[in-house]
Structure 1
Amino acid sequence: MLSHLDAVTIFASDVGRTKAFYTDLLGFSVVPQFTSPEADFIWLRSEKRSTSIIVQDVATRADKPTQALIPEASGGLMLGFAVDDAEVAHKTAQDGGYEIRTPVVDMGSGRTFGVKDPAGNYLQLFDVYPQVKEIQRQLGLG
């Protein structure tokens, strides 16, 4: 299976300040099409097309299965890997005996599940629907 590191989620108690750090200091810009209206989930991208950064309000993550139980002690990070098919990746992870954290769920823009790597890092593996891939392509994100 082929994949690539697509997003790093940073769980923040002060989303505005964290967003400002990455936009003001490092030049990331907000992607409005993938940012929640409440701004508790802000998608940031670099003009150089590096991995995206997502700033997630730690207080509002409870309804997001792949994020809800990640402890603060993990450093508040989750690596997001885009895969071709989340169901296939989930089965491969199960067959490999890896610690599956969540079942595959629909996230609106695709399907996702949570898993831990053997070193204990929290990962979100996801696919995106074709119409979302087209939006990403138009925005220079894919």
Structure 2
Amino acid sequence: MLLQAVHHIAVICADYQRSKAFYTDVLGLQVIREVYREERDSWKLDLALGDQYVIELFSFPDPPPRASRPEACGLRHLAFAVKDVAAAVQELHQKGVPTETIRIDPYTGKRFTFFTDPDGLPLELYEQP
């Protein structure tokens, strides 16, 4: 098996409209397609970052909560590359999204920080100038 790339990340949200607005209006991901699956009473929203398909956003009736902190087993976080972490943090703050303090990766010397989506999913901004 020769893996070529990560194809997508699937996220189940508690409030579909709120999460759709967060990922599109706040983070700026582009809608590829949106489908309502009546048999599942579920929305599926395919989102792209630039030309790359990256996230499937799902809604399901009454999804169970998932433990995410502190350091729970499973997916730790989803990281987005940005050119300037400080500028991205300022933009998030202007949109009402709190972030952690910017830190420096001791191994790469790059700046990074964390914030959460509307359901508390940990998200990271990692500087790639």
**TM-score normalized by structure 1?**
0.39
**TM-score normalized by structure 2?**
0.43
From the CA coordinates, give the structure whose radius of gyration is larger: 2
Q: Which has the higher helix share?
A: 1
